[in-house]
Each structure stands twice: as structure tokens, then as C-alpha cells.
Amino acid sequence: MRCSTISAAAERIRFILGEEDDAPPPPQLFTELDELQAVDGQEMEWKETARWIKFEEKVEKGGERWSKPHVATLSLHSLFELKTCIEKGTILLDLEASTLPQLFELITDSQIEIGQLKPELKDQVMYTLLRKHRHQTKKSNLRSLADIGKTVSSASRLFSNQDQNGSPATAHRNLTSNSLNDFSDQPDRDQLKNKLMKKLPRDAEASNVLVGGVDFLDTPFVAFVRLQQAAMLGGLTEVPVPTRFLFVLLGPKSKAKSYHEIGRAIATLMSDEVFHDIAYKAKDRQDLLAGIEEFLDEVIVLPPGEWDPDIRIEPPKSLPSSDKRYSGGDGPQMNGDTPGHDGGQGGGGGHGHVGEELMNTGKFCGGLILDIKRKLPFFASDFYDAIHIQSLSAILFIYLGTVTNAITFGGLLGDATENMQGVLESFLGTALTGAIFCLLGGQPLTILSSTGPVLVFERLLFNFSKDHDFDYLEFRLWIGLWSAFFCLVLVATDASSLVKYFTRFTEEGFSSLISFIFIYDAFKKMLKLAHYNPINADYDPNYVTMYDCRCMPPPDDGTLISTVLTSVNTTWASLDKKQCVMYGGELIGPACGFVPDVTLMSFILFLGTYTCSMSLKKFKFSRFFPTTVRKLISDFAIILTIVIFCGVDAFVGVDTPKLIVPTEFKPTSPNRGWFVPPFGGNPWWVYLAAALPALLVTILVFMDQQITAVIVNRKEHKLKKGAGYHLDLFWVAILLIVCSFMCLPWYVAATVISIAHIDSLKMETECSAPGEQPKFLGVREQRVTGVFVFVLTGLSVFMAPILKFIPMPVLYGVFLYMGVASLNGVQFLDRLQLLLMPAKHQPDLIYLRHVPQRRIHLFTFIQALCLALLWVLKSTVAAIIFPVMILALVAVRKAMDYIFSQQDLGYLDDVIPEKDKKKKEDEKRKKKQKKGSIDSEIDFVSHFEALLKADQSA
């Protein structure tokens, strides 16, 4: 017979919790430890000494403040003593009580009934249990005269009645009536003002632990109570939440320190995820004992001589999953050891995208129809889900990035096409296409923009048309129409299902390239700025007397200007630079070519913007200010940074380059209108020949759009409203037609700005326990931020008087930030760092556990080589075939199946996020263990039946 690896306690736990239980999870618990202490060396009261939501917080010895949240470290002896308390104490489950005196009355009566408490001690126990509770939120130990009067009179009546009348019953009645005044069922003012409530969910409940030493008990008084309905018990708890659990331990004063540790033990257990669920679902004492046994199975003991108990362990950044414990798995794995993993399945992770969105329906426009059906139910929520302050920060951030991008590409397009397309066309095209796409597209979080490969294609097309006397605008129109037609064919045939072949290898290669381009262009623009405002590298202090710039008159030709200047006795030397140039004078001198401090100030603004943006974005993880303030600063990090450095620029007063926005709404070139006629400018065969270059544009649009869509729809973003690959491509095709007829730039999904949009809309838990890192919940999926960004972009023409104060170096700094921020979480960069990292300093990554390091480095080298080739290609004239080379990444990845095993690719190229892979590994182990457990149970039953038959035959 095979032996099960699952302990008896774990088996019982699995039975208690029920693996198929669909009931809602039990509420979050707030646990408070109160100890019986003397106040000013006289009367006793319950003093709060520690609390738990997830981690322990102690009242520091001075009593003035809470400690930092830390992992509770328990003595093994205290856990065994707690187990004894549960074995021998009173257990009352689903008790009906609504007030504190009623609750304590039922507990003491139960103790008396089973002989654990002498009847004559009931009044003293009740008097002790009903003492006042002093929480850490109450800053002063001073109480009102009314409270003091009530306490003193209650105590004096108790003992005077016992001494004079010898009637404990009378004293108890008096005490109870007075105690009811202290323990109202309504929370007091201090509770309602407690800021800790922000850390608790709305349905949270309380678990109260009361421990203390008294001199009238010879044996411990122990009770564990679970109320049938959670009840507000007045000032019992620090926060105004209803109490569900109560643990009471009173005993001889000689063991008061032991009681403190037992109280910490039960409080820590109540904050444990598994025992917390057991406490809610336990039916008897044995279920609770099984929970303690399971906790002991998972406990890790530290040697006393190798660890300082005074050291407080900081909470981990990410908590391990409890799935293994719920399934009744093996004990804890030490030092990160992980049982074997079947990594040979998955085929390199290529199937990570396969879902309803990417299934090939085999029907005409089948994928498009499914996309519409999938997105239509969420259309209304796409608007009201945006009602949050975070949406405002996202709009402002992405707006500035989009405006900068539109100005940059508009200027470059103007240079490449002799102003047939310029900044105004870039603004109008961005506003029109972006607003329509975000309003009606399948994934409104995607931001459309003009891209580098499109710019290269436009330049080559314009030069080709000029060399062959073609009408550029008409030729471009037909290329756009053919390309739109090809895209619509791809939509109708569900060609977007090919996206399932875009694995992490392809995604990260493309996104890393675009991020590097953003970073490179940011520095390139700054160096170009330095070229126009050069630094005087040859400056010598000894020649300061010779360092000047003078305005010299032009040769006297008897013009009116010369006559006027001579008549008013004005010298050329008195003119400033602009006047000198305006009147035709000549600037002569070594200082004429240099503008002091502009380049230096520009780099200060550039690097300052990047550094400040990164720092403020991470500010929510700092220790300064309350959580709400930190989160608000983090959400508005980019906007605050821009405001700060615009202020710095204005305060210093250096004439740095500023943002230039068109002020008139008309085509950049006077030789064209807003509509391009489709016929008459070129020979008829050009309309057909345009299909050939249109194929390149189609590949470019498809690859740019769908790779960006795959990155946006990654599983780690936890999007809940589904993707719309076919619907996205449909609208891109329609907008291609519109932009071609209006001679506006062509637009596709922009990877970096789309990632920045998602990052600005990420949601985290609003109430996380002290010490616990906020959990990522997903992204605020809506259409409003995108629509507003592009509407504002269109209105920027009318906001030129305001936008002109923004220095261009500040916007370049934002570009640099967007490029660097979009590289966060890219596994390719993590693997690049491993090349320079000794093995002992490498992080605990899942692929490092299972894939040999030389294979990891080979995979990284191939990916880096492909990225380098793409970079070289996009920097040459051959950049027109850039989209084809991106498509070649898929072929390279397919060829890697012959170099790497499927198990290695399953870890290195899986699209599943790192943390989810670890969870997936645990789930596979859980299923394996469950199967082993069932097999062992079947073997046990078979063996038992065989023994029974043998007995019957005998």
C-alpha cells in the first residue's frame, strides 16, 4: 500500500474548507490583543498592546507610538500552550450575543456548568472582563470625572457589598448595570476618527484577544468564542467594526508573560489566511485543533543561537500563495527549493494568446462580428468607469506626450515632403484618428500615432514621385486606398488570428526596439539643440576683453534706411541683434555665434525632468506622507514634474527653446487643399501600380498594430473587457482611407505611448494592511481618457498662448521617461543583466531554476542580435523593408524550436508573467498531490475490504 504524503491535519483541513466551495470568502479580520494592566499602579484595565491585519504591530515600550509592521515571530512553546488551551478550554461556536456583558455572562455560565470555574468566582471574573479598554488611539490617559466616578463607585460597591452583606449576586447586578453604560453598542468618537479604517475593507470584522494575570484564579480561565452574527461591542475594539471572534485567557499572575505569548500566538493564527478560513468554518473543537496542527506543519523553526529575537523581520514585497496549503500539499520547501516541474508542455508559450479573440472562425468577418459582440456590452461602462481622479492625470500626461510627438513628426514630415504635410496636418490627423479609434475601437487603451517607419516611407515616396513627375498626393492616396483594402481583406479572413504566433521573443524584440528609439531620439534632439545653441569651448578668461559681438553697417548704397539712421545720428553699434539683422547689418565678433547658458540650462531641464518623473512615480512606495497623498503625487507625477521645471525655467529666465504650436487652421502648403482628388494627376496605370508599395504599407500597419495590441493585451495587465484585434484593424483601415483623402499622416498603434497610457491607469488595492504591498488589480479600462487626449490635441491650436511657455527640453525629458518606463518588466533586459552578474547574486527567477545558464545566455544573444540588426536596418535607406524584417522575427523564433528544447522555451519564451508561472507551477504540483492522495485513499479502502473479507471467511 502506498503512503499518502498528506498529513491527517491537512486532510481534515481540506475537508473543512471544501475544495469546490463556491461560497464568498470570509471577511478580512482585524485582530487586537488587549492585556490586563494596572493604571498608575492602582486599578486594572485592558490595555491594547498589539494589533494584526496581516502583520503584527506592537505598541512601543514608551507607549506613544506603534511599531512598524513586521512578521510575527512566535516561540514554538507558545503554540503548544495555545493548543493545550484549545483542547481544555471552553469552545463556543455560533454563540448568540449582542452585548459585551451578555457575552461574558454566557462564557462564565458555560465554564461554571462544566466545572471549570467556581460559582463564587463569577463576579470577580465578570468584574475583570468588563474593565475599561484603553486603546492606543487615545493619546491621553486622563479620563473624564464622570468615568472615574463610575469606575470607583463600581469597585467600591462590589467590595463593600461582599464585605458587608456577603451577597455576590447583588454586587454583580450593580456592576453589570454600570458596565452597560461603559460598553454601549455604538462606537465612540475615537473609534470613528481612527485612520486605520482606511486599511480595512468595508465588510471587515474583528477578532479580540484578552489575556491577563489575576490573583483570584488558581487555574487558567480559557474561552474561544465565535458569534453567530458579528456584533458591535462598543469600545471593545480600536476600530468601529463588528466583533466575530473572542479569545479570553485569565490565569495566575505568575504566568503573565506566558499569557502574552499565547495571546500573540492566537492573534497571529487569526491573521493567517488558512486558519482564518478554518475559524469561520469550524464545526467543533477538533476542527480548530486541526487548524493549529496544520499551522505547526508549516512553521519554520530558527535556531536560537543563530538569530536575534529582538530583530523585527520586514514584511516581504510579495507574499507566497496559500494554494498549496489549501490543497493539503507537502510541507514548506526550504531555501526556495521547488519540486520537479513538467515544463515540456506549452510549446514555448506560443499558445499563451490563444483565446476567443484569436480563434479563426472560418467565416466571413467572423472574428470582427465576435469582437463587436464582445465589446458592445461594455460600451456604456467604458464611460462611467473613467470617473476617477486618476483619469485626469492620465489625460494630461498622455496629452503632453501626444502633442510633443505630433509636433516632432509633423516637423520631420514637413522637411521630408516640402510641407505637403506639416505640423498642422499632424495635429489634425492625430486628433481625428485617435478620437475615432478610442471611441469605437476594440481596445481603447491603445494610442494611435505616426511612427518612424511611416516617416521613412513618406520620404522615399515623395522623392520617387518628384523624380518621376508623379503627383505625390494622388499617388499617396491610391497607395492608402489599396492598403486599406488589403487590411479589410485581412479583417474579413480573420488574419489577426496569426497574432498567436507572436511570442514573448517577438513582442519584447519589437517593444524594446521602439523604447530604445524613444531614448535615442530624446538624446539626439538634445544634441541637435546644443548644435543650434553651441557652447564656446574655446573660451579663455585672458581674452575676455576681446570677447564681444558688434553690429557693423552694410556698404552705403544710399538706401532710405541708411539715410534715416544717419539723419537721427544713430550708430549701428547701438542696435540689438534682431534690429541689426532686420536692417541688413552684419554681426561681427567671436561672441556672435554663442548663446550663453542655453545648452547647459536645457540639459538641466532635460535630465531634471526625467529624474523627477521617475522619483515622483515611485513616491507611493516611499515612507513620507499618508498613503492617499503618496498615491496622488504618484498619479500626477509627470504633470507635477512639468509644472515644476516650467517654473524653474521661468524663474531662471534663460531663453531656452519653447514649444511652437500652429496658430492658424489651414494646410501647411498653400498649393493644396483639405481634399485630394483621386483622378487626373497621374497616368491610369499608376492607380494599379500603387498596389505594390501598398503591400509594404499593409505589412507595416498590420505588424505595428497587432504587436502593440498584443503587448497592451498582455495577461499581466489583467484586462477584463477582452481584446478586439479584428475590430482594431478594421478602424485603422477606415482611418487610412480618411487620412489618404485629406493628405493627413497615416496612423497605427504606438507601442511606447500605449504602454505609458496603461501604466498611468493601473489600479491597486485601496485598503492594504499595514506592511503589505498594494496588490495590482488591473487597468482602468475605459474610452474617456483616449478621447479627451485627442480632442485636446485638436484644440491645441487654440491653446498656443499657454503651451508656448513649455520648454522643449522638458518634453524631451518626458520622452526619455516614457522610453525607460516602457522597459520595466521586460524579461529581455533582465537576462541581459544576468550576463554581468555572478551566479550567487542572481535573483530567484523561475527560468533560472530550470534552464541551464548557458542556454539562457544563448537565447539572450540571439534576441540581442536580432534587435541589433533591426536597429541597423531602420537607420539606413533599406528602412522601407523594416516591417518585413519584423515579420522575420516570427520566423527566427520558429527556427529556435530546433535549437532549444520545448521545456527551455516554455520558461524563456512563455507569454505568461513570471509570478503567474510560479503560481502555475504550484497548481500543477497541487493536482499531482491531489491525484496521489486519491490513489492512496483508494488503496486504503481496497486493503480494508480485503481484510474484511478475510475475517468473514475465517
**pLDDT recorded at residue 353:** 46
Q: Please tell me the predicted confidence (pLDDT) of residue 556.
A: 61
Domain boundary (825, 849, 867) is at 825
Q: Is 205 helix (H, G, I), strand (E, B) or coil?
A: strand
Rg (CA), the chain: 37
pLDDT reported for residue 207: 93
- In this prediction, residues 493-499 reach a mean pLDDT of 80
Closest of 749, 717, 714, 779 to residue 504, by C-alpha: 714
Are 620 and 574 members of one domain? no
Other Cβ atoms less than 10 A from the Cβ of 625: the count is 13
| Better-scored residue on pLDDT, 52 or 680 | 52
* Distance in angstroms (rounded) separating the CA atoms of residues 144 and 44: 17
* Bigger pLDDT: 695 vs 801: 695
Q: What percent of the chain has pLDDT over 70?
A: 76
Least confident range from 147-151, 323-327, 510-514, 756-760: namely 147-151
Domain-embedded: residue 37:
yes
Mean pLDDT, the chain, integer: 77
**Whether residues 583 and 649 fall in one domain:** no
- What pLDDT does residue 184 have? 56
Helix (H, G, I), strand (E, B) or coil at 231: strand
Whether 54 contacts 771, CB under 8 Å: yes
pLDDT band with cut points at 50, 70 and 90 for residue 208: very high
Do the Cβ atoms of 656 and 808 come closer than 8 Å?
A: yes
| 566 and 628 share one domain | no
Question: 565 pLDDT exceeds 70?
Answer: no
DSSP assignment of 88-128 equals HSEEEEEE---SHHHHHHHHHHHHHHTTSS-GGGHHHHHHH
| Domain assignment present for 327 | no
pLDDT at residue 735 tops 80: yes
Q: Is residue 849 part of a domain?
A: no
Q: Spell out the SS3 assignment of 392-448.
A: HHHHHHHHHHHHHHHHHHHHHHHHHHCCCCCHHHHHHHHHHHHHHHHHHCCCCCCCE
pLDDT at 875 over 60: yes
Q: Kindly tell me if the per-residue pLDDT of 59 is higher than 50.
A: yes
Q: Is residue 706 part of a domain?
A: yes
Domain-located, residue 197: yes
Q: In terms of DSSP H, where are the helices of 500-576?
A: 504-532, 560-567
Global pTM reads 0.65
Give the range of the structural domain holding residue 519, as residue numbers without chain letter: 351-529+607-762+773-825
C-alpha dihedral sign at 276, 278, 280, 285 = negative
**CATH code, domain carrying 306:** 3.40.930.10
Average pLDDT over every residue of 834-843: 78
In this prediction, residue 551 carries a pLDDT of: 82
Mean pLDDT of the 801-829 span: 81
Dihedral class, residue 558 (left if φ above 0, else alpha if ψ from -120 to 50, else beta): left
50 and 97 belong to one structural domain: yes
In this predicted structure, the answer to whether residue 944 has a pLDDT above a threshold of 60 is no
Residues 582 and 613 in one domain: no
pLDDT of residue 44: 84
454/569 same-domain check: no
> Which CA distances in Å does 22 have to 18, 201, 229, 280, 591?
9, 21, 21, 15, 80
> Distances in Å between the alpha carbon of 428 and those of 747, 763, 806?
12, 32, 21
Q: Which of 351-360, 566-575, 582-591, 777-786 has the highest mean pLDDT?
A: 777-786
The Cα 221–Cα 201 span in angstroms is 33
- Model pLDDT for residues 428-466, shown as the tens digit of each residue: 888 889 899 998 888 888 888 877 677 777 777 888 787
Higher pLDDT, 152 or 473: 473
pLDDT of 151 above 70: no
Mean pLDDT confidence for 13-40: 77
Distance in angstroms (rounded) separating the CA atoms of residues 106 and 55? 32
- Give me the mean pLDDT over the 576-594 stretch: 73
**What pLDDT was estimated at residue 607?**
92
Helix (H) or strand (E) holding 613: helix 598-617
Domain co-membership, 92 together with 220: yes
Percentage above 90 pLDDT, the chain? 9
Give the mean pLDDT of 163-173.
Answer: 42
What's the number of domains the chain is made of?
Answer: 3
pLDDT surpasses 70 at 189? no
Residue 146's pLDDT is 38
Residues 436 and 566 in one domain: no
**Are residues 685 and 805 located together in one domain of the fold?**
yes
Residue 335's pLDDT is: 44
pLDDT on residue 246: 93
* Higher per-residue pLDDT: 825 or 650: 650
Task: Give the confidence band of 156 by pLDDT, cuts at 50, 70, 90.
Answer: very low
* Amino acid 364: pLDDT: 81
923 belongs to a structural domain: no
- Identify whether 503 is part of a domain: yes
Q: What is the pLDDT of residue 925?
A: 58
Q: Looking at the predicted structure, is the pLDDT value of residue 160 above 80?
A: no
Q: 475 and 375: one domain?
A: yes
> What are 646-683's pLDDT values in tens digits?
889 888 888 888 877 667 777 777 777 788 788 777 78
pLDDT tens per residue, range 265-278: 999 999 988 888 88
pLDDT band (50, 70, 90) for residue 178: very low
- Looking at 225-284, list the stretches that DSSP marks H as alpha helix, in order from N- to C-terminal side: 256-271, 273-281
Q: How far apart are CA 368 and CA 494, in angstroms?
A: 8
With a cut of 80, say whether residue 60 has pLDDT above it.
Answer: yes
Residues 639, 726 within the same domain: yes
Query: What amino acid occupies position 281?
Result: K
Residue 381 lies in a domain: yes
Tell whether 729 and 817 lie within a shared domain. Answer: yes
Residue 801: what pLDDT?
Answer: 74
Residue type, 862: I
- 725 contacts 706 by C-beta, under 8 angstroms: yes
